[in-house]
Every structure is written in C-alpha cells, then in structure tokens.
Structure 1
Amino acid sequence: MNKKIFETLEYEKVKAKLMPYLASQTGRQELNRLGPLTDYEAIQLALTETLDGADVYRLKGGIPIAKLDNIAPQMKRLEIGATLSGLELSQITKVLRTTQDILGFFRKLQDEKITFHTLYDTVGKLQSLPEISRRLIKSIEGDGHITNEASDKLFGIRNRITSTESEIRGKMDGYTRGKDAKYLSDAIITMRDGRYVIPVMAQYRSHFGGVVHDQSASGQTLYVEPQAVMELNNRLRQNQIEEKNEEERILEELSNLLAPYREELLNNANILGHLDFINAKARYAGEIKATQPTISKENHVHFRRARHPLIDPKKVVPNDIDLGEDYKALIITGPNTGGKTITLKTFGLLQLMAQSGLFIPVAENSQMGIFNEIFADIGDEQSIEQNLSTFSSHMDNIVKILAKIDDRSLVLFDELGGGTDPKEGAALAIAILDKVGSKGSYVLATTHYPELKAYGYNRPETMNASMEFDTQSLKPTYKLLVGIPGSSNAFDIATRLGVEPAIVMQARALMDQDSQDLSAMIQDLSARQKEADDRAAKLKVEVDEAEKLHRDLRNEYQKLVNSKDQYLEKAKQQANDLVDDADKKANDIIKKLRKMEMQGGASIKENQLIDSKSQLNALHQAPSLKKNRVLRRAKAKQALKVNDDVLVTSYGQRGTLLRQFDKQHWEVQLGILKMKVSVDELEKLAPEKEQKTGPRTTIRKTSSAVKTTLDLRGKRYEQAMTEVDRYIDSALLAGYPMVTIIHGKGTGALRKGITQYLQGNRQVKHFEYAAPNAGGNGATVVYFK
C-alpha cells in the first residue's frame, strides 16, 4: 500500500502508541514492520491473535514477557565460531528463562480450561532446551558476570583471590591505623595499576620501602606499594590472571554449547517477540476501548459509533459510517469546522488499523472491508518548490490517484474541486466522482458545492450526508447525518447574530427559487431526521428497560421452577424419613410378636405379618408421580370418542381426537400438528367455552410430565440425541421459554453433538452454558423463540 496514505491519515502515530507496551527488541521490530494486509486469511489471523491477547490481558493482566534484547547478532557471531561475551550470553539466558516462564504460564492456563484460538499453537512452537538453560542460568548473571558456580576451578581461584585481598588489607590497615599513619598524607588504601598502595608524603618515601606507582599533581604525595605487601600483590596478580583465563575458557565453552542451537534460539526469540507484539495490541485496544470488527469480503463497511483513536474519547463525537452495501460513494457537506475532514480521516484510519490486525474504537458488531489501496487528497498540499498553487497541487495528486484506482480501492477526497471558481470546481468534482465510480472504487468526499448535493440524488450507488449544525447555539454538533445534504444556514446565522431583517430578506430575494426550495427541503429533512433520532433514542431506552425486565422475570421464573423441584424433593424425603421411622417401629413390634409366639403365646399367622409389612411399605412416596399406575388406569377408563377435547400429558398440550388407530392409540390434532398418541397419555377434558368477542386464545398448560431439565448423563450418544430431539419438541409444545440439558463434561462428544443440533433447530433462539454454580459447561441452557 502507498506510504503517503500513512502520513496523511497519521497511521504512524497510532503505531507509536503501541511502543510503550513492548518489552522486547524483537517486538519493536515487528511493530516497525506493521502495515495493512490485503489477504483475508492473514487479516483474520492477526485479528484473532489480538482477540486472544485481549482475553489474556482481561483474565491475567497480559502475557508476562520480560525485557529482551535482539539476539540475532549473537547468533551470527556463533555461526562464524566467535566466543560471546558475558553480557551477550546473559541476553541469550534471558530468552531461555523467559521461554520457560511462558511455557509454564500457558500450562497453567490450560489446566484452568481457558481456551484460545491461536495462542496455544504459537506457544507450542517454543523449545525450552532445559539442559542448556540450567547451565547458562547457573553460570551467567543478568549483568553478564560469570558466577562462582560456573566451574570448580573458578570457584577455587576466586576464593584464593578473596583470601589474598583480605591478607593485603590486613597489612595495609596496620599502616593506616598504627604508628606509621603519621607518614601518610591520607589514611586510606587505594589501587594503582591493579596493585594495593598507600598515599605517602614525599619526604618519607623511603620509610616503607617498596615501589612508587604514582604521585599527586603537586608531587607532595607518592602512591607507594610497601615492601611488605609486594609478594602478596604479586600473588594476587597471578590469581587474577588465572581467573581471567578461566573466565575466557568458560565463555568459549558456553558459546560452543549454544552454537548447535542457533536456529532454535532465534526461533524462540522471534516467537517471544511476536507474543510481546500481541500483548501490546491487546493493551492498546484496552486503552482506547477498541473492539474486533468482522470482515466483509464484499467490502460492506459498517462502523458503529466510530471514534478517531488519536482524539480524547471524552471530546470526540462517535458516528455511524457505512459504505459499500447500499452505496459506494458518500458525499458529505456541511459548514467549516463541522467535522467533515475528521470524519474522512477517521474512516480511512480505522480501515488501515483493522487491516493491520488492530482492534478499532467502534461499537460491537461493526464490520470492515479489505482494500488493496487507500488514497487520500486531504488538506493543503501546496508545493512551493514546484511553484504550484493549492488547486494545482490538488489536481496533480488527483491525477495520480485516478491512474491507480480499481474496484478494490478506497478514495478520500477533502473539499473536492476547491480552490477555484465555484461553478467550474463543482463541475470538475462531479466529473472526477463519475470517473471514480466508473472504475468501481469506493469514495468518501467532502464539499461545499450545492451542485454536489443534487449529485447524491441523481447518481446510482451514491448517498448524501452532512455534518449537523445547531442553529440555536450556532455551533457544530460534529454528528454525521446520512441521507441529508448539508445546509449553509447562512441566513439563520446572520439573523441570530443581529443582521437587520431587511438585509436578510434582500439576500433571500437574490437567491433563485430553486436554491431557496433546496434549502427549505434540507431544513425540513434535517428537522425530520432529528425528530426520528430523538424518537429512536427514546425507543432504545424503553427497549433496553423491557429487555432487562424480561431477563429478570426469566431468571426469577427459573429460580421458582428450581425451588419448586427442590422443595418437592425435600418434602418427599421428609415423608420417607417418617415412614422409615414408622417402619422401624413396626419391625420392633413384629419381633416382639414373634418372640411372644415362640414363648407359647397367642398364635400369629405369617401372612398377617406380611400384610402388615406391605401396608407400611406402601406409605413410601415415589420420587415422581409421572408413572403412577393408578392414575394411568383411571385415565384409561375414561370413554374417548372422536372430537373429544383431551390433554396429552406427555406434552402438556390440549388437543382434539381425530380417529382411533387401535385400542391403545389415537390420532390427536395438536395445533397444526397431528400425532399418534397412546391412550395412557390422554386425559379427557371438558369442552372449551367459546368467547363472545375477540379472537380465540389457547392457553398452554405446563404439564408436570415435561420437566424443565433433561439429564443425559450416563447415556449412549445415539440414545441421548434421540431423547434431545423428542424433549425439545415436548418443551416447545409445553410452552416453556427455556430448558436445561445436562450432558456432563466427559469427552465432550455429547456436548458437541447437542450444540450442533441446537444450531440447526429453527425454534431455538440461542443457547449458552449454565452458570458455574449450576454445572458450567456440563449443562446447556436453551432459550426458545
């Protein structure tokens, strides 16, 4: 895409906003390479990665990427056999340490059952190299210093150095604190040329013997290495040389250890940089309250409540901007400083951002297009060097644009045709727009010319729009009004500012009738648009309140249904406890009776004991009365005949008998359905009374035979899916607004099958997993239309 558009629309300023959120040098390099994409799959992937990053940011505060340097130069040095310094090795160590941290971080997310679209696959490409990581972490500190644990030999050398330094300081302290301190210009111990010395006054240079290594600028102080510590200094120097040699050997060994893993290390660094970049995109999206747009392959752009990302959200006025579906050209008119240019820039910049995989500051359900090129002619681009006027500069730019556009191009024109004679400029603007339209390009244009207001009505795929102006306050509202051309409002403004009415009337008379009619039409349309907007805003508030009330009622209803089942089961349990208590007492009585009979008391027959026991057992309540045989026999005894009104208990629905198939089955009319139903599921009802006035209303009864919950746990897949199909039909006939299907978690096969079935059922409005305290993703709540 042409680079000029980035400067015109301030795209680079948006990229600069992401820079503070990046921790790695590789991430910064990826940001520098960022640009709009034109491939659908690539854009979708970039947006999906941003979505995953936003989820991590929302749940865990972001991906924990440490500050990392670019290790590509180190990898090139390893390739040619060079030995890396301690600092270079520490930079590689940070990459390995961060790799381990990231792998551990995402393992915890997997354990928590948090799902992502792409991040697990991306992180799965990291290679931890545990042995090398342990060796480097053990040997190199963050500042590049080689640790004592790097080798046993180094540990021993440094111990000797410490011991020797301690011995030297002990002797030197004797000079600075003892009777010899009077020969010193200052009672301190210092170093010259890597050797410990003391500052001796020049006249006492021979008092300590040894070697003079330096003198002060005045020559009054000599820095002397006393004879008594010369041997210790020599030993210290020798140990220091051995330390340096051992450190060089360790660095060479570690470099050789890393050399075979150059590609893996570089790949890790690039992946970490990419994760850092995803993190930055997510954090920037959170800062500007941006959302993910969907992608339209047909280039139907719908930006809802679009805001310019570089303007304070407290000051910017959001606007709905559409292009592509109903019209491919939008002509925006309105007063100066009314917001036309910023609307133009907002649309173009948001499209660039979205094609770059960035979230954009729009409302949910917004939609973006894909343009191969975006061109703009915005602002005063007068070239002094070329000695071109403003108009000439614009024309030169437009000529270049017209030579490059096609049906996948977006063109932004600001004040098209401006800078010259109004009539000639308007005619030229119309011709340019026609040329753009003939190539199938998409265009947003701003203008002052009244001729272009009519252009929007006369040309196909073209729409007028304007920036609203409040004639009462004499200030622009910065609100885009689509479908209404702008009005200059000059006469109204002049009147409110105190211009004499006679002058205004004379000015109106000088206008031709067509212009006056057009102005009147625009004012009428603006008034109607404002009235419609106000009414729509009021209706939206009422709809939101109604939806909230509906949700509350639905939740309360579900709580009521759940409470009813719980109380019923609790009551049954209490009844069973009472019966169990009575049963225990009865058993005690029976034991006593048998004991009495064994002791020669009255004769008690066994069948009497069994009958008593059976009567007590009959007091137990069954968990459910759905399959009560007594009720079924009572229903079966009812005499049924054609045209009788019946209740189909299995569906909780009133119906009419049409004909009898056999002794056990009838054909029943249920609304628009005809069904074959068993007589055990039929209950005869009294005929409904006809209403004298108004339409006939059928009241659905909710039968206790159809529960609001279907439990499929432990059932085979085929059996479970059959039961789901029958259960949904039953619930619909019963008039339930919502039901719950319990399928458990398991392998997820049954949950997936139920999800596919619900997606294909037209009667299902939507469905979602149950609340965490109600089963989570082990249960699905289904809402019907």
Structure 2
Amino acid sequence: MNVKALNVLEYHRVKERVLALSQNEVSSALIHELQPSSDKDWLTNQLFKLEEARLIHMQGSEPGMSTLTAVQSLTKRAHIGSMLSVTELNRIKNNIRVTNRYKTYILNLSEGGDVNLPLLAAQFQKLPVLSHISDEIEAKCDEVELRDNASSVLYDIRQQKKTINRRIKDKLDSIVRSQANQKKLSDAIVTIRNDRQVIPVRSEYKQDFPGIVHDTSASGQTFYIEPNSIVELSSQLNTIAARENEEVSRILYELSGIIAEVHHDINWVTDVMGELDYQLAKAKYGHSIKGVIPVILDERTIDLPLAWHPLLDQKTVVKNSIIFGDDIHSVIITGPNTGGKTVTLKTVGLIILMAQSGLMIPAAEGAALSIYHEVFCDIGDEQSIEQSLSTFSSHMTNIVSILKEMDDKSVVLFDELGSGTDPSEGAALAMSILDRCLEKNVMTMATTHYPELKAYSYNRSHVMNASVEFDVETLSPTYKLLMGVPGKSNAFEISKKLGLDLSVIKHARQLIHMDNAEVNEMITALEKNTRQAENDRINMEALKKEAEQLHKELSEQYEQYMSNKESLIEQAKLSANDIITKAEKAADDIIRDLKTLRTEQQGIKENELIEKKGQFKDLYNETTLKKTHKIEEQQTIEPGDNVKVLSYGQKGVILSVDNDEAVVQMGIIKMKLPLSDFKKEQPEKDKQIRVVPLVNRQTIKMELDLRGERYEDALVRLENYLDQALLSNYNQVTIIHGKGTGALQKGVQDYLKRAKEVKSFRGGMPSEGGFGVTVVELK
C-alpha cells in the first residue's frame, strides 16, 4: 500500500490507538510493523485469529501478560555460550510462566465448551512444556541475585562472608562507640570507601588510628581510614568475595546452558504469546469503537452499512451507509462545503486499510469488502511553495501519477476533482478523468461542486450519484449521505433565509436556465424519495433485528427442548429398567410366598390370597391406572353396585358411599377405599336354585359370623342358626369364628360334634377363610 495514502488517511493514528492497548513489548513490535496486505490467505487467517481474540476479550477474565518480554537476543547469547544474568534469566522465566497461565486458560475455555477457539486450542496444545526451566530458575534466583541455597558451596561461602562482615562491623563499632575516640572522629559512624569499611577521622588525630587511608574529604579535614585491626579481615573478605563470584558465575553458566538447550522452544512460546497479545490489542480496539469483523468477498465489493470515521467522537458522529450497488464502479458525491464529503472519502479509504490489516472496522454487522491492491488518494491542499506549484498543479501532478499506477484492483479517492481552475474546463477535465477510471474498471469515489457532474451518472453506466444533506431551515449540514441522489443548489433558499429581497430572488429564478430548474426539481423529488426509502430501510432493519432475535430465542428454546427431550427419554429408560427389575423381584417373592402357603397343611386363607393378588396389582403404576380409568369413563358409584377393585384386582359389592370413599365387600372382607379405585361392572346373573318351600320359613344367610361374640352368646346364636338353616333346606353353611386365641373355634366345633342336625364339619379352605371358619354339612 502506498505511503501517501497511509499518511493522508491517517492510518498511523489508528495504529497508535491499537498500540496503546498492547500489554508488552513483543506485541508492540508487531503493531509497529502492521501494514495493510492484499494477501487473502494471510488476511483470512488474521481475521480468524481476531475473532478468537475477540471471544477471549469478551470473557473478561484474561490472565494478563504485561511481564512478557523479547528474549530472542538472550536465548541467542545463551546458545553461543555466553552467561546470562539473574535479571535476564528471570525474563525468560516470566515468559514461560505467562505461557503456562494462558495455556491453562485457553484450553479450559475451549475444552469446557463455553468458547470455540479451534486455532488457539490447537496451537497451545502443540507448545512445548518448559515448566522445569522456570522452576529451576525460580529455585536458584530471586529478583536480583542468586539465592544462598543455589548450591551448597555458595551457601558455605556466604555464611563465611557474613561471619567476617560481622566481625569487622563489631570491631569498627567498638572504635566509634569508644568515649575516648569521640572527639577524634568527624562522625561516629562506619562508612564505605573503595568497597572497604572505614571510619571518618579528624586530620589532627589520624596518627592515633594506624591503618590504610582510602579517601579524604574535600576540605582535607577528614581522613577515611581502614584500621590495621580489620585490614586482615577485609583481605579475607575480598578473598571470600572472589570465591563467591566464581561460584555465582559457575551457577549462571549452568543455567544459561539449560536455556541454550531449549532456545528454539523459548523463542517459539514467546512468539505465540506476542501474537496472541497482538490480536487481543486489535480486538480491544475493535471493541472500543464498537466495530465488526468484515466479511471478505472475492467479487469487488464496498458494502459498509452505518459506517463512520473511527477517529471521530462516537457520541456525535453521523453514521452513513456507503454501499456501491450492483455493477457500480464510480460514485460522485456533491453537496455544500463542510457537509462531510471529504470525511466520507476518508472513511471509505481508512476502513479499507483497516480491514486489510486484520482490524475490526467501524460499521454495522454485515459489512463486506473485497481485497484491493492499492488505495490512491487525492485529498487535501497539495500546494508546494518549494516546487512552485499552484493548488491545481499539485493536485494534477498527483492525479497523473494515480492514473498511471491504478488498475482494476485499486480504489481511487478524488476530493474536489477538477477544482482550482476555470469551472467549465475543470468540469470537463473531471469528467474525462472519471471516464479514464471507468475504462480501467477502477473503483472510484469523487467529490465535486461542478453542476455538470450531477448529470454525469445519467449519461454513463456503472456510475451513481450521491450527496451530503443540507438543512435549509438551520442553514447547516446534517452530515447525512444520500446514496443515489445528486446534491442540489440551495442558493435561493439560503438567500431567502438570510433576508435577500424576494424580488431579487424572483428575478434570479427567471434568469436561470430552464434545464437547470427541471434538474433541481428532479433532485428535490429524488431527495424526498430517498429519505422515504432510507426511513423504510431503517424500519426494515429494526424488524429484521427483531425477527433475528426471535429466531435466535426460538432456536435456543428448541435446542434446549430437544436436549431435555433426549435426556428425559434416557432417564425414562433407566427408570423403566429399574422398575422392571424391582417388579420382577417382587413378583418372584409373591410367587414364592404363594407356593409356600399352598404347601402348608392348614391351606391358604382367602384374605391372604386376595392380599397376594393385590400385591401383583401393586406392581403397576396405580396413579396411571386410576387416571386412565377416569379418562375412559366418568362413573357414579352407589350402594349395591358391582365393581372391580383396581388396586386388588378383585370383584366386590359397594355397601355404602361416603363422599369420595366407599365401603366394598370382597368375599368375606370389607374395605374402605377411594371411589377412583373402583370400576363399575354389570352384576352377575343369579343362579336358579330349586328349593322346597316350607311354612314359616325365614331367609337367612349361608354363613354365621360369630367374631366378637362372648362364648355363651355365640353358642346360643349357633344353635338358633342351625335350626333356621335346616328349615331353609341348606345343605351346607359356614360358621365364621375367627382365629384369635382359638377358644371360640374349639367351643363351636365341640358343639357341632354334639348337634343332631350336623352330618359333618371341617375347617375352611384357604379360599374360604382358612382357620377362621368352619364349614358345616347338614343332614
């Protein structure tokens, strides 16, 4: 991209704003080198990376990498055998630790499914593990020097050094604290000269302190003397210090050797982190301008809905849709000065440069551009005193260069084309230049004041007019761009607002050429229609966004429904399997109990059999059965109705009804159950029993229930019952005495043994009541 266009469009100011969001020197260097590119593969890759960086920035939990530094020079020195300092080793350690933090962060985001980061996840998974390097440096180095325990030798040396320093300090402190020496010393302190500990002695008493003079004051009144009593200790200290330096150098060379072995890996992780921060800085800038990632198309396109200049104040800037229609190659913008024509040109040019730099652009969603090899500009005052060129000449010099270099992969921006010379010649020259651009199939935008160019698009194909709106009422521009509408002259309206005599304006209207008047009327109509179309478009955009939001919400709800549906089905399958397993086990237990009862000598009792059958029914979902029954039939249960008891699977007769419950007789068992547990059935047809009518015959039951009776009363009732049964011509009756303690059963059977009307008797079968009944056969 040519340098002139970058300067005129102020591309460097955008880079400065991106640079301010960089966290470290590595990414800053990449931003300094940033330039627009026409390489589609590079640009596509950059925009993919930018999208992932944008997603990371939106999380608001980025670890940060301000400690990342450029270490290629350090790793190179280590590789050729140089020794790195503690500070330099710490820089490498910090880079490794920053990488580890981001590796964990990126992979957690990606693997957790919250954020889709395929490029970064794949890249970070391939990065080498260098934690052992940073751990080794951390173990041996603090922020400025080696730790005492970096090696056992270094530890011993530093302990000796501390001991000697302490002895020297103690001796010097005793000298300066001595009362006899107070007047001999300039100050009662120990200080340092030439890396040796000394005391400040007044010049007249220097002979009282034999030793080495390391310095004197500017006035000559103070001598800094190292007393002989510590000279030997200081010499020992120097020797120890030399040994310490040797050991420190040995350890640092050892650490540098470790760095040399993995210098390529260290450079790799540093480059990856620098690239990530570089993309994050671009994403942060895009977020700050509320920009979007452009769509890059193969066919030539400039489609910028609601675009604005990124360097203008977002709170006040007017957003305009700059869209080259189908098969449009040139756009001619007309309108008043200070109306925003030049800003429109710069907006288009700068947005193209930003898009081809892999940056987000200031426009609405759906913004699309193609890749251009060059952006040429002729914008602003190019007058040059040094070259003795007028404004027109300087512009024409630039235009000549543009016409030579442009091709169908270029975008050309002309500001006030043909200005600075005779209007008629300038207009003709402007049209000729635009014709040349059309011949070369160049995408062109031009601004002009010439009225002749308003009709230019009507006489040429692939050309569209545009204008910047002017509010006659306020006598100020609105900065709105009207695509497809040429600008009209507002001279008469403005003059009228400013108070010019109406007769003068009327005379002027008569002088104006009829064709121009018709053109102005046509432009007025176009402006009105364009405003209406723009309003309709805005309303459609709003409706479209609402529809998209509704579609998104419905899609999310549908996906959630489908997800829950699959989950519920799977859960139901598991529950069903569990229910079946439990039911099978319960059924096995019931069958086992029935078999056990069958083998007992005393037989199976009826109530136990009913209970066991009811347990089989309990294996079904009682609520579902009742619910299904309710759906099938709305029934009314009344006393005397024959019903089926759903929970027990037995037939019975309703004895009484109380609100939502009823008492049912099932064989010899009475139970109170809810009405929902009954299904009404047709009564069985009575069996025809032939009997011999007797005089004074009373109707009695074929069973006598003595349960709860006193012993004596029970026998009286038994005697009367047998007489009535015999009169009723019953062959067999049942005496219900219950189990209890067995006393009533024994008394009944003793009576039956003596009774003349009894042919025989036996205990009840399980289906008849078992031990709780005695079946009597009458004569």
CA-to-partner distance for each residue in 1:638-686, whole Å, 9 max, x for gaps? xxxxxxxxxxxxxxxxxxxxxxxxxxxxxxxxxxxxxxxxxxxxxxxxx
Give the stretch that moved more between structures: 460-469 or 268-277: 268-277
Residues 587 and 616, structure 2, Cα contact 8 Å, conserved in 1: no
1:321 paired to 2:322: yes
Output the CA distance in 2 between the equivalents of 1:51 and 1:455: 42
1:105 paired to 2:125: no
Aligned residue for 2:405, secondary structure, equals coil
Q: Which amino acid aligns with 1:256?
A: G
Counting only pairs closer than 5 Å after superposition, residues 654-733 of structure 1 correspond to structure 2 as none
Partner of 2:94: 94
Output the CA distance in 2 between the equivalents of 1:391 and 1:596: 121
CA-to-partner distance for each residue in 1:185-238, whole Å, 9 max, x for gaps? 112211001110111111111223222211111111111112222222222222
CA-to-partner distance for each residue in 1:66-96, whole Å, 9 max, x for gaps? 3333223334434543333333333333323
Taking structure 1 as reference, are residues 611 and 127 closer, same or farther at Cα in structure 2, changes over 3 Å only? closer
CA-to-partner distance for each residue in 1:468-516, whole Å, 9 max, x for gaps? 1111111111111111111121111111121111222222222111111
Counting only pairs closer than 5 Å after superposition, residues 254-265 of structure 1 correspond to structure 2 as 254-265=255-266
Partner of 2:252: 251
Aligned residue for 1:118, secondary structure, equals helix
Partner of 1:671: none
Partner of 2:71: 71
Aligned residue for 2:262, secondary structure, equals helix
Output the CA distance in 1 between the equivalents of 2:460 and 2:557: 55
Query: CA offset at residue 530 of structure 1?
Result: 2.2
Partner of 2:486: 485
Output the CA distance in 2 between the equivalents of 1:272 and 1:550: 38
Give the stretch that moved more between structures: 417-426 or 167-176: 167-176
Query: CA offset at residue 547 of structure 1?
Result: 7.4
Output the CA distance in 2 between the equivalents of 1:249 and 1:412: 65
Q: Which amino acid aligns with 1:373?
A: E
Output the CA distance in 2 between the equivalents of 1:566 and 1:110: 24
TM-score by length of 2: 0.72
Output the CA distance in 2 between the equivalents of 1:275 and 1:552: 33
Partner of 1:149: 149
Ranges in structure 1 where 5+ consecutive residues have no aligned partner: 571-584, 632-785
Same amino acid, percent of matched pairs: 39
Output the CA distance in 2 between the equivalents of 1:558 and 1:68: 42
Q: Which amino acid aligns with 2:395?
A: H
Query: CA offset at residue 253 of structure 1?
Result: 2.6
Output the CA distance in 2 between the equivalents of 1:566 and 1:76: 57
Taking structure 1 as reference, are residues 615 and 19 closer, same or farther at Cα in structure 2, changes over 3 Å only? closer
Taking structure 1 as reference, are residues 62 and 551 closer, same or farther at Cα in structure 2, changes over 3 Å only? closer
Counting only pairs closer than 5 Å after superposition, residues 144-183 of structure 1 correspond to structure 2 as 145-179=145-179, 180-183=181-184
Partner of 2:212: 211
Query: CA offset at residue 130 of structure 1?
Result: 3.5
Counting only pairs closer than 5 Å after superposition, residues 233-312 of structure 1 correspond to structure 2 as 233-312=234-313
Partner of 1:25: 25
Partner of 1:352: 353
Query: CA offset at residue 600 of structure 1?
Result: 8.5
Output the CA distance in 2 between the equivalents of 1:260 and 1:550: 56
Output the CA distance in 1 between the equivalents of 2:439 and 2:261: 60
Partner of 1:501: 502
Partner of 1:135: 136
Partner of 2:375: 374
Partner of 1:16: 16
Partner of 1:515: 516
Output the CA distance in 1 between the equivalents of 2:625 and 2:19: 65
Q: Which amino acid aligns with 2:367?
A: S
Counting only pairs closer than 5 Å after superposition, residues 573-722 of structure 1 correspond to structure 2 as 609=610, 612-613=613-614, 616=617, 620=621
Taking structure 1 as reference, are residues 355 and 129 closer, same or farther at Cα in structure 2, changes over 3 Å only? same
Residues 93 and 133, structure 2, Cα contact 8 Å, conserved in 1: no
Taking structure 1 as reference, are residues 351 and 324 closer, same or farther at Cα in structure 2, changes over 3 Å only? farther
Aligned residue for 2:292, secondary structure, equals coil
1:232 paired to 2:233: yes
Counting only pairs closer than 5 Å after superposition, residues 46-61 of structure 1 correspond to structure 2 as 46-61=46-61
Output the CA distance in 1 between the equivalents of 2:362 and 2:420: 34
CA-to-partner distance for each residue in 1:241-289, whole Å, 9 max, x for gaps? 2222222222333333323333222223222221221121111112111
Q: CA RMSD in A?
A: 4.2
Aligned residue for 1:357, secondary structure, equals coil
Q: Which amino acid aligns with 1:100?
A: N
Output the CA distance in 1 between the equivalents of 2:62 and 2:384: 47
Residues 63 and 275, structure 1, Cα contact 8 Å, conserved in 2: no
Output the CA distance in 1 between the equivalents of 2:32 and 2:491: 48
Query: CA offset at residue 16 of structure 1?
Result: 1.1
Output the CA distance in 2 between the equivalents of 1:23 and 1:33: 16
Output the CA distance in 2 between the equivalents of 1:393 and 1:472: 38
Query: CA offset at residue 519 of structure 1?
Result: 1.3
Output the CA distance in 2 between the equivalents of 1:108 and 1:593: 60
Residues 171 and 229, structure 1, Cα contact 8 Å, conserved in 2: yes
Ranges in structure 2 where 5+ consecutive residues have no aligned partner: 572-585, 633-779
Output the CA distance in 2 between the equivalents of 1:92 and 1:438: 58
TM-score by length of 1: 0.71
Partner of 1:34: 34
Output the CA distance in 2 between the equivalents of 1:262 and 1:166: 43
**Rg: which structure is higher?**
2
1:452 paired to 2:463: no
Partner of 1:119: 120
Q: Which amino acid aligns with 1:2?
A: N
Partner of 1:467: 468
Query: CA offset at residue 178 of structure 1?
Result: 3.0
Query: CA offset at residue 434 of structure 1?
Result: 0.8
Query: CA offset at residue 612 of structure 1?
Result: 4.8
Give the stretch that moved more between structures: 248-257 or 153-162: 248-257
Residues 17 and 285, structure 2, Cα contact 8 Å, conserved in 1: yes
Residues 99 and 127, structure 1, Cα contact 8 Å, conserved in 2: no
Partner of 1:404: 405
Residues 294 and 367, structure 2, Cα contact 8 Å, conserved in 1: yes
Taking structure 1 as reference, are residues 607 and 304 closer, same or farther at Cα in structure 2, changes over 3 Å only? same
Residues 188 and 198, structure 1, Cα contact 8 Å, conserved in 2: yes
Taking structure 1 as reference, are residues 162 and 608 closer, same or farther at Cα in structure 2, changes over 3 Å only? closer
Partner of 2:3: 3
Counting only pairs closer than 5 Å after superposition, residues 730-749 of structure 1 correspond to structure 2 as none
Taking structure 1 as reference, are residues 38 and 597 closer, same or farther at Cα in structure 2, changes over 3 Å only? closer
Residues 299 and 324, structure 1, Cα contact 8 Å, conserved in 2: no
Taking structure 1 as reference, are residues 588 and 408 closer, same or farther at Cα in structure 2, changes over 3 Å only? closer
Output the CA distance in 1 between the equivalents of 2:475 and 2:336: 11
Output the CA distance in 2 between the equivalents of 1:468 and 1:601: 110
Output the CA distance in 1 between the equivalents of 2:336 and 2:277: 45
Query: CA offset at residue 108 of structure 1?
Result: 2.9
Aligned residue for 2:321, secondary structure, equals strand
Taking structure 1 as reference, are residues 477 and 172 closer, same or farther at Cα in structure 2, changes over 3 Å only? same
Taking structure 1 as reference, are residues 566 and 115 closer, same or farther at Cα in structure 2, changes over 3 Å only? closer
Aligned residue for 1:122, secondary structure, equals helix
Give the stretch that moved more between structures: 163-172 or 64-73: 64-73
Query: CA offset at residue 450 of structure 1?
Result: 1.1
Taking structure 1 as reference, are residues 601 and 137 closer, same or farther at Cα in structure 2, changes over 3 Å only? closer
Output the CA distance in 2 between the equivalents of 1:93 and 1:294: 40
1:390 paired to 2:397: no
Partner of 1:687: none
Residues 295 and 369, structure 1, Cα contact 8 Å, conserved in 2: yes
Output the CA distance in 2 between the equivalents of 1:212 and 1:187: 17
Aligned residues: 624
Query: CA offset at residue 522 of structure 1?
Result: 1.1
